Structure 1
Amino acid sequence: MIKIFGHYFHKRSALQVAVEAAAVMVAAFFAVWLQASLRKPVSILDASLTGALVAANFVMVNATLGLYENARSFSLGVMRIRAGVAWVASGAITLGLLVLMPKVIDKSIWLVFAVLMAAKALVILQRELSVSMLPASVTRTRVLIYGAGLRAQAAAESLLQSDPRVDVVGFYVSPNETQIDMPSQRLYRHPRKLSDIVVEQEVDEIIVALTERRGGSMPMRDLLDCKLDGVRVMDVATHFEQKVGQIRLDTMSAGYLIFGDGFEQGMVRTLVKRLVDLMGSLVLLALAAPVMLLTAILIKLDSRGPILYSQERVGQGGRLFHVVKFRSMRTDAEKDGVPRWATAGDSRVTRVGRVIRKCRVDELPQLFSVLKGDMSLVGPRPERQFFVEQLTQQIPFYAVRHSIKPGVTGWAQVRYQYGSTLEDTTQKLQYDLYYVKNHSLFLDLVVLFETIGVVLTGKGAQ
């Protein structure tokens, strides 16, 4: 994993983005110079700028459609369909860019466009071949988990879900472990040395996932020898943060939050985030105005009641504020006065409500809360005080999410579906803690791009 502006990316994904962007940029540069030799000369700066814009739009479309994700979020067939959609969508954007640059492209626009589309097709083909033709020793990572209890089981499950190119070779049982939760055929035990197993199984990475860490539970010298031999060694809490984008409650302590890096709330960061929120919400409101007007009309025609509804939520520092959304439920949704979470197939949702919730259009009026300063474009989802009081008592560190402004969208929203149970809320909190710890302008941009993908695919909606 590599860390870019506080956010972790898999090295394969970062390398893939860099290689594809460079390939498309070189192709664009070549295409512009080719047409220049036929029509009129262009400067190196203009050709380079054209290449950068075309490469950027190609990478952003791919990222929006989830083509750089390592997780098993969709099958190989779906990935191929999305790659085709990305090729068409980036092609349409590229054509628009070329039309807007007459001084650079002149009259040879279709020559440049054809070269670029061919280059993008070759990049997509290369991506397909690299997955199916490269040897496993190059594309796969072999992981040994030190521990055989519940934490080891959770680490193994998360590995297989977050990265399909990982092989868990087995589990090394600590001398102090009393509860073994993994199958015996995958266990390694003392007196076999950890370093011998690493060499025998060609291990690339060791994850220390012990439930109990009493004295003598870890062979520190063996672990150090493995690390000095080039094997990555990491704690299970760090594993979940880097590989899954979560701060797991069952693998961390208050010390991990206090003494670790992150949780920076400096004045410069706060000012930059506020400026981005102001500019972003104004632009989004202008672009979304026709959609919001149509939504208002449809809600009025579909069911009786107000177009908007206002609800009190808990914001930064526990301060209460009112959030406004398009009404997606019947007016008698909580006629008994008892707050309830929305659930899958909720009968209280109207016909129009099902559509606008799936497309996240019901969230658009929250942009006015961003302008006002109660919310940010990106942050933890604001919750009702009734639930906050309960969840603060039931879930450790729940109040940490209130150290920053709530958001219209967030890391938890693009990584996890709507939650209607305590377990769902705990899962989402672990993503929220990651965001609070590592939030930056770069991570905000990542979340915004992934939100576009969520809206386009309807992933996680209900």
Structure 2
Amino acid sequence: MIRLFKHYVPYAVLILGAIDFALLLLAAEAGWLIRLWQVGVDGGATAERLPNMLAFAGAVQAAMVAVGVYGVEALHSVRFATARLVAAMALGIIGLSLLFFIFPPVAFWRSSLLYATWIALVAMVAVRGLLRDVLSGERFRRRLLVLGAGPRAARIEALTHKPGASVAVVGFVAMNDGPAAVTGSVNRVDIASLPDHLLALRATEVVLALEERRNALPLNDLLRIKTTGVEVHDFSSFLESETGRVDLDSLNPSWLIFSDGFSAGRRLSSWGKRLFDVMASLAGLVLFAPLILIAGIAVKLESKGPVFYRQRRVGLYGETFDVIKLRSMRTDAEVGGKAVWAQKDDPRVTRVGRFIRQTRIDELPQVWSVLKGEMSFVGPRPERPQFVADLEERLPYYGERHVVKPGITGWAQINYPYGASIADAREKLEFDLYYAKNYTPFLDLLILLQTARVVIWPEGAR
């Protein structure tokens, strides 16, 4: 993993992304040269076409991120990657068309764009066929030595067996902090020199996974390991980097207080975020107005009742506000106004409601809340006060998700299917805490792009 703007990115993804960007630049240039050769015109210097090439590469690669080309399944299956690449090229061309309209100097001839698209698609599929085993193999996995052999160590072992894992455990060292839960661990007393043991295993990182730190923290060992240049991680930080979530089971207040995150340096980013929200919401209200109108008519024709509905939600620092959505349920969905969790295949949802939920069209009126400053485009989903009161009692640190503005889309929404239970709320909270702790404009951009994947391939919408 490499930490890029406070967000963890696997080495394999970063390398493949760099290769793709280079291929897209070359494909754009090749598309121009082929067309120029056909019409018998001198191509001139490549530098003159660099803005066009960058526009093509940037738009297509943004679309690739959006549709999940760099996801785990796409890295392991050439067939899956090809399908996503085709979708990305189509989405990228749509984005380019808009870009050409706004900024004509970067436009392509249609024939040049066609050639560049096909060359890029074939080249990127070929690269994935050639590098599939390399990218998913041991070469790009960090070698991990785990200090501990209990249930925490077992969790790390299970994590490394999941598809797309970026680490491989080369050994466990039992630190006499409890019963062993993994096989093949070596007791610390049987290791003469831990640094020599590290070198023998060619470990590049160490994770401290003790069950009980009192009277068991191996300070001398950790000092020697650190001074040899090997990275040392505590259990919570390791899980955060590998899973993109804050693990509630191992979380304690001191880790939140002293770990890197929730920095005051985000204030400048917050101003930029607000500026983006205002500009994008103004554009969104104009752009989405026809779609909201059509969906509203469909809602009205199918069932009696208002087109929109207002619902009280909890926002920044626990302040409440009214969220506006297109109505997707029957008007008698909540008898007596009592809050009820949504269910899978919820019978209260109308046919039109099911469609606008799956496509997230019902969320579009919330752009008005973004413009008013009550919400942002990206942030944790705002919950109802009744649910928040209950969840704050049941889930530790639930209130910390309110240190950032709620959003229309968020880190939990693109990483976890729609959930409507205490267990689901706990899972989503771990993603929300990760976002609140590591917020940067880069993470916001990544979430906005990948929201397209959730819309195109709806999963778990209720």
Rate the CA distance shift 1:452–1:174 in 2: closer, same or farther, 3 A: same
Who is 1:144 aligned against? 145
Who is 1:356 aligned against? 356
Query: What pairs up with 1:12-91 in 2 under 5 angstroms?
Result: 12-32=12-32, 35=35, 38-39=40-41, 44-70=46-72, 77-90=79-92
Rate the CA distance shift 1:226–1:109 in 2: closer, same or farther, 3 A: same
Tell me the SS of whatever aligns to 1:249: coil
Rounded to whole Å, the distance in 2 between the matches of 1:99 and 1:367 is 24
CA RMSD in angstroms comes to 3.0
Pairing 1:127–2:124 present: no
Who is 1:215 aligned against? 215
Tell me the SS of whatever aligns to 1:428: helix
Tell me the SS of whatever aligns to 1:262: coil
Query: What pairs up with 1:327-406 in 2 under 5 angstroms?
Result: 327-406=327-406
Deviates more, 1:378-387 or 1:32-41: 32-41
Q: Which amino acid aligns with 2:139?
A: V
What is the aligned-residue identity percentage? 36
Who is 2:421 aligned against? 421
Deviates more, 1:241-250 or 1:110-119: 110-119
Rounded to whole Å, the distance in 2 between the matches of 1:10 and 1:323 is 37
Tell me the SS of whatever aligns to 2:324: strand
Rounded to whole Å, the distance in 2 between the matches of 1:419 and 1:375 is 21
Deviates more, 1:95-104 or 1:409-418: 95-104
Who is 1:306 aligned against? 306
Tell me the SS of whatever aligns to 1:178: coil
Give per-residue Cα distances to partners, 1:93-123, cap 9 Å, x unaligned.
56887899887778x7525642452144212
Rounded to whole Å, the distance in 1 between the matches of 2:136 and 2:416 is 33
Rounded to whole Å, the distance in 2 between the matches of 1:268 and 1:140 is 36
Rate the CA distance shift 1:290–1:188 in 2: closer, same or farther, 3 A: farther
Tell me the CA shift for residue 412 of structure 1: 1.1
Deviates more, 1:86-95 or 1:48-57: 86-95
Rounded to whole Å, the distance in 1 between the matches of 2:411 and 2:380 is 7
Tell me the SS of whatever aligns to 1:8: strand
Tell me the SS of whatever aligns to 2:18: helix
Asked whether the equivalents of residues 204 and 231 of structure 1 are also in contact (C-alpha less than 8 Å), the reply is yes
Rate the CA distance shift 1:27–1:197 in 2: closer, same or farther, 3 A: same
Who is 1:180 aligned against? 180
Who is 1:167 aligned against? 168
Asked whether the equivalents of residues 72 and 162 of structure 1 are also in contact (C-alpha less than 8 Å), the reply is no
Deviates more, 1:82-91 or 1:398-407: 82-91
Tell me the CA shift for residue 40 of structure 1: 5.1
Rounded to whole Å, the distance in 2 between the matches of 1:246 and 1:200 is 32
User: Which runs of 4 or more aligned residues in structure 1 lie more than 6 Å from their structure 2 counterparts after TM superposition?
Assistant: 71-74, 95-106
Rounded to whole Å, the distance in 1 between the matches of 2:112 and 2:327 is 50
Rounded to whole Å, the distance in 2 between the matches of 1:421 and 1:105 is 49
Q: TM-score, normalised by structure 1?
A: 0.88
Who is 1:459 aligned against? 459
Q: Which amino acid aligns with 2:239?
A: F
Q: Which amino acid aligns with 1:209?
A: A
Asked whether the equivalents of residues 236 and 247 of structure 2 are also in contact (C-alpha less than 8 Å), the reply is yes
Rounded to whole Å, the distance in 2 between the matches of 1:97 and 1:313 is 37
Rate the CA distance shift 1:441–1:94 in 2: closer, same or farther, 3 A: closer
Pairing 1:250–2:249 present: yes
Give per-residue Cα distances to partners, 1:22-63, cap 9 Å, x unaligned.
232134235435655732555655411011111112211211
Asked whether the equivalents of residues 162 and 243 of structure 1 are also in contact (C-alpha less than 8 Å), the reply is no
Tell me the CA shift for residue 74 of structure 1: 8.6
Deviates more, 1:8-17 or 1:318-327: 8-17
Asked whether the equivalents of residues 325 and 364 of structure 1 are also in contact (C-alpha less than 8 Å), the reply is yes
Rounded to whole Å, the distance in 1 between the matches of 2:149 and 2:76 is 29
Asked whether the equivalents of residues 12 and 135 of structure 2 are also in contact (C-alpha less than 8 Å), the reply is no
Query: What pairs up with 1:159-308 in 2 under 5 angstroms?
Result: 159-161=160-162, 163-164=164-165, 166-175=167-176, 177-182=177-182, 184=183, 186-193=184-191, 194-195=194-195, 198-199=198-199, 201-218=201-218, 220-226=219-225, 231-265=230-264, 267-308=267-308
Q: Which amino acid aligns with 1:259?
A: F
Rounded to whole Å, the distance in 1 between the matches of 2:93 and 2:60 is 8
Rounded to whole Å, the distance in 2 between the matches of 1:211 and 1:250 is 12
Tell me the CA shift for residue 181 of structure 1: 3.3
Tell me the CA shift for residue 172 of structure 1: 2.7
Deviates more, 1:90-99 or 1:109-118: 90-99
Rate the CA distance shift 1:299–1:384 in 2: closer, same or farther, 3 A: same
